[in-house]
Structure 1
Amino acid sequence: MARSPNPTVDPALDAAALLRRVGFFGLFVVVPVVAQVARRASIILAPIAVVLLVIASVIDGRQRRLGPLGIRLLGSPAFLAGMLVVLWSALSLAWTPFLGSAAERLANLVAVILLTMMGYLSLPDRMRSANLYLLPLGVTVAALVAVLLGLFGEQLMRGSAEDDGALNRGLTLLALLVWPAVAWLRSRRRDREALAIALAVAAALAISPNLTQIVALVVGALAFAVTSFRPRLGVLLTAGISAGLLAAAPLLPFIARPIGAALFGPLAPGVLSLKSWQKVVTSEPLRLITGHGFETALRGRFAGLVPMNAPTTALFEFWYELGVVGSLAAAFALYASIRRAGRDNPLLVPGAMAAFASAFTIACIGVGLTVIWWLTAIALTILVFVAIERGQFRTSRPKISRLRRIRDGEMG
């Protein structure tokens, strides 16, 4: 008896599937775990993983077309406002006193944007669940590693100067990636597993002495809870508060300083920092329009242009460097992006709002405006959310009783 021929096996497609699996394993597992012990893990490993995804999409032809995507982006107000921020940053090189370092930092920013676009184009329109389940696995393992480092860090790391601050960066990445992991599990109706991962990350952050990630997780949890019960209200609050704080940042020291002085005393470090911010605003009000130029908030501290105790927050740095044009454009881009994230896939909206709130909180507490590892962490979070959004194509299977009725009807 003749056997039916075996289906044709395409080695190229198998190689593409393998490269894609390795790329996702790198993004979802290796980067979060290694980031807990190596300061430059996300900067080095994330681009490698994205390149693997790009190569896989080129081999099997599953990448998105650049033309339709470009037309769609050019019609997006959020994208146009973001590009205005990048363009204004480039124009500010003409009046920044630190041209060399500013040009280098701008090049890093553009490189991260291009890397994100490459990753976005290389993600398939339909993601396999097997690849996406790597995300909660990676977050869980990273949380366990962070717990061990928090408890036995001195014995495990031996006080290595090379990896000093690595755990802080790793926990920051963990505070961001926990929300897409929770969103993915909830979309698969695995609420218990989602709660377990959230508790594991909370334990890892609680053991660390740095409060930045803890505050970010709490704010993200509040945004998640509000959006879960009132989706429209949660989106409006997240978008309005984030964009409003960024747009009205120069007014904050005048409002917060009297309150802080009454609660903690006029000589408290935070109050003195707000006083320095207030002095910067009042001494050069005209520079609020153009800004002082890219990279001046950081470099200016060591050159005597900015007080050493000035805030190290994105709210201050946006206005000091880019002025009203860059800051208001960034505020509009943030508002439009958050509102756009709340339109599709209702199951993912609470996680997206929590990620937005956590990232904005971290930026407000003290991460530099264009620190490369921070930009990479945000880009990675964006790609992860795009991936889980493209994994939502499954529909519910028909019940057996319904199948029987259909079969009986066909037989009748």
Structure 2
Amino acid sequence: MAGGGEIDDIHETATATTAAPLLEKVYWEGCPGCAAEKRKEENPGIPYLQFFRIWIIILVSCLPITFIYPFLYFMIRDLHVAKTVEDIGFYGGFVGASYMLGRALTSTVWGMVADRIGRKPVILFGIFSTVVFNTLFGLSTHYWMAITTRFFVGSLNGLLGPIRAYTIEICRDEHQAIGMSLDSTAWAMGLIIGSVIGGYLAQPAEKYPELFPDNSLFQSLQLCCSYKLHMVPGVSVMVYQTFIYPYIERILGPINTSRVATVLSMVLLFTYPPMTHLSRPWLQIVSIVTCTYILQNNSVTQDQRGTANGLATTIMSFFKAFAPAGAGIVFSWAQKRQHAFFFPGDQMVFFMLFVVEFIGLVWTFKPFLAMPEQFSSKSSS
């Protein structure tokens, strides 16, 4: 029979064994995922430097989308492709949609490539292609050249999916809301900077005749910016995403935050017809968008995040490519029923938007949305 000392030694050994982790973390050399996890363990704080780099990259990716719309009308006019003034919007819609169409066709592929060879090569190639084809777009002298170059800007720009996956991978769980809010913040800055660039660098021959004579290249490639009001929602979204959203997400979780923002957007949409001067619901929209970024990254494993974000970008780009045409059809149809009994005129447009928001709200509940157990503590329904 064992003595008292031996029993104490056995008890201490059993206690130490129980307290020790069953599986110790092992970081393999040459493994990018292991290096990222080790970096997060060694630096539990917010990775400000990495966040700043990501913010700059997302801004570069957003600028090709935002800077074109202020001067698109005048660009189509100067290309002389529209026979009448009323046709300018028709031709301009195809130029605007060509970017999203190209991105919709290739985003999933870029996400799969990022999972296979890494995030950084895809990001670097996307930045390089954006510089090249954006320059060619600015030099367009024919309508089809403008459409083609915009299409290649979108199809070769595989930044968004990999950069969102990379954002999740470099920060700890408690900092995910801050990291993913960088996307909306960079988008807001893109609205501001894009509007400024479009306003001050377009039509230089008319604004600065002493620097650019009539027979110069800038005279034949003149563009104009007239929608500087993009700066107003841009500033509001930037402030909200940077200082307010991370705290709301930390309290409510991504799913509940998205639900609250969706309900607020639904209510606000119904106020549009009687309150035509009401500001746009930018803050609610960016809450929904940012929450979906967090959800789609947490719903898959690390080796699938690039593909998941690429697929999400594909679907988003597809609807952004065809939404202008669909919205134009719905709006034209609504104008023909100004005296209808059920939601006459513009009210039908906002009613259909309300239905879309409601469907999105329903899909945040089970069984449509299922989160992994480690992420479902704050987001459970």
| Structure-1-length-normalised TM-score | 0.30
| Structure-2-length-normalised TM-score | 0.32
Structure whose CA Rg is larger: 2
User: Relative contact order (alpha carbons < 8 A, sep ≥ 6): 1 or 2 greater?
Assistant: 1
